[in-house]
Amino acid sequence: MNPKNWYRECGDSIRAEFGADSELFIDLLAATSPRKQITTNWRLAMRVYHVWNSIGDHKDWFFRCYATGKNYPKDSDFVVLRKNLFKGTLPAHRPNIIRAFKREPLSGNKVRAFAANLKGNLDEVTIDVWVCRYFGWDDKKSMTNKVYTERADCIRHYAKAVGKKPAEFQAEIWYEAIRAASKKPQSYLSVRDRNQMYFEFFMEV
């Protein structure tokens, strides 16, 4: 894959596979992306998506129980839900997973930008640890809104100078930063056994 087309090609593949649910799945990918590699991120999002769909008509019960801290009903759907929905996710992922289910805006500059890029908005800028390392920016501390905006504007400036969309330019420098660290850049297209049938029949969800 040409790194310039990373978001476009990954987004197109998700839309082709998930159809009407593509924006939900993209939000789940973005929600579970912090501190996770591409393959793990895809598998987590796929698990969450399939567990969520397995509870049928009980989604309103889930929101009420989650919001109030009450126990879930003891039927089989909620046994599956309790065991598997957040399995493998980080505590920081879970509020955004809930926002994705409720179709509310995600929280966090990087998470929101990543989702927007996969949905086709290439003017937003995803800034992760690799982008920070490319520019020599401090990647050990959380970015304030002000710092994130300044860095995103810097990337937009460079992108405009070379005639590219900000997300296209960001994907290219992300790719180069990973290669400079002697690692292999990945995409969601390269995830092994990435399709839904695999998860339905082999992941027990």
Between 14-23, 44-53, 107-116, the lowest mean confidence (pLDDT) is in: 44-53
pLDDT at 45 over 70: yes
Q: How many structural domains are present in the chain?
A: 1
Between 7-11, 102-106, 195-199, the lowest mean confidence (pLDDT) is in: 195-199
Domain that holds residue 44: 3-202
pLDDT for 205 = 41
Average pLDDT over residues 23-31: 98
pLDDT at 66 over 80: no
What Å distances lie between residue 50 and 24, 72, 113, 147, CA to CA? 12, 19, 24, 36
pLDDT at 69 over 70: no
- Dist. CA 12–CA 63, nearest whole Å: 31
Q: Mean pLDDT score of the chain, rounded to an integer?
A: 88
Average pLDDT over residues 26-42: 95
Q: What is the pTM of this model?
A: 0.89
Please return the burial class of 70, using the count of CB atoms within 10 Å of its CB with bins 0-12, 13-18 and 19+. Answer: exposed
